[in-house]
């Protein structure tokens, strides 16, 4: 396993630190910094960024940070730290934007959205595009598959669950928004696929 890259390390530390702040003052943190539907008194312009540092429990935090730990360093090395930081927060904001647009159309309730998943899904999308043949081992079931297939199946599953509402309480369209923003930015930058695998 490659060493943890600087921006990925900083993002993980910031998320863990924000989680402890959230535990210390859960209600005020949630109302001020989680992502609330726009057009409501609870929405503030900073929330499409700050929501990505809050999490709905230790397991939520762990799996998001584990995803960053697994896939972030390779993407940071390909893009460089500055572009990686721009990429990550573009995915976070893209996730928030799609969620805010689609959720009211789907009859969503007035509820906060929080978590780094939009950024993590963007990083996962980049990994699938830049390292398509890299093998990824699923946990359940333990089946190895190329990264491009894993990312494609994951994206389709998120779309299906979002459309049919099969898993409540999960911001599926935020995940898809992170992937979409990442895809568009990689296409705009015309990032070449690394020669090493």
54 pLDDT more than 70 = yes
Choose, from 55, 90, 117, 172, the residue flagged as catalytic: 117
- Whether 28 sits among the annotated catalytic residues: the reply is no
- 20 vs 116: CA distance, rounded Å: 15
Q: What pLDDT shows up at residue 1?
A: 45
| pLDDT tens, position by position, 136-160 | 887 767 889 999 999 999 999 999 9
Question: Average pLDDT in the 97-124 region?
Answer: 89
Q: Model confidence at 105, in pLDDT bands (50, 70, 90)? A: confident
Choose, from 55, 99, 172, 175, the residue flagged as catalytic: 175
Q: Name the CATH architecture for the domain at 6-189.
A: Up-down Bundle (1.20)
- 152 vs 19: CA distance, rounded Å: 30
**Which residue has tokens 């992502």?**
35
What is the DSSP secondary-structure string of 139-180? SSS--EEEHHHHHHHHHHHHHHHHHHT-STT--HHHHHHHHH
Where in the chain are the domains? 6-189
- Whether 117 sits among the annotated catalytic residues: the reply is yes
| pLDDT tens, position by position, 77-96 | 999 999 999 999 999 999 99
| pLDDT tens, position by position, 112-133 | 999 999 999 999 999 999 999 9
The SS3 call for residue 102 is: helix
For residues 56 and 7, the answer to whether their CB atoms sit within 8 Å is no
Q: What pLDDT shows up at residue 61?
A: 97
């Amino acid at each position: 396993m490659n060493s943890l890259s600087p921006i990925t390390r900083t993002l993980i530390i910031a998320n863990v630190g924000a989680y402890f702040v959230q535990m210390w003052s859960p209600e005020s943190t949630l109302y001020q910094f989680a992502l609330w539907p726009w057009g409501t008194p609870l929405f503030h312009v900073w929330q499409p960024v700050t929501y990505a540092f809050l999490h709905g429990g230790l397991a939520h935090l762990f799996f998001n940070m584990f995803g960053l730990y697994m896939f972030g360093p390779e993407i940071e090395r390909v893009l460089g730290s500055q572009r990686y930081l721009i990429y990550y927060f573009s995915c976070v904001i893209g996730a928030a934007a799609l969620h805010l647009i689609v959720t009211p159309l789907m009859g969503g309730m007035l509820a906060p959205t929080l978590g780094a998943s939009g950024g993590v899904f963007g990083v996962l999308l980049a990994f699938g595009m830049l390292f398509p043949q890299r093998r990824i081992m699923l946990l359940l079931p333990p089946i190895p598959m190329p990264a491009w297939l894993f990312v494609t199946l994951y994206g389709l599953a998120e779309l299906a669950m979002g459309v049919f509402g099969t898993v409540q309480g999960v911001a599926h369209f935020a995940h898809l928004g992170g992937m979409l923003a990442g895809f568009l930015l990689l296409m705009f930058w015309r990032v070449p696929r690394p020669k090493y695998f």
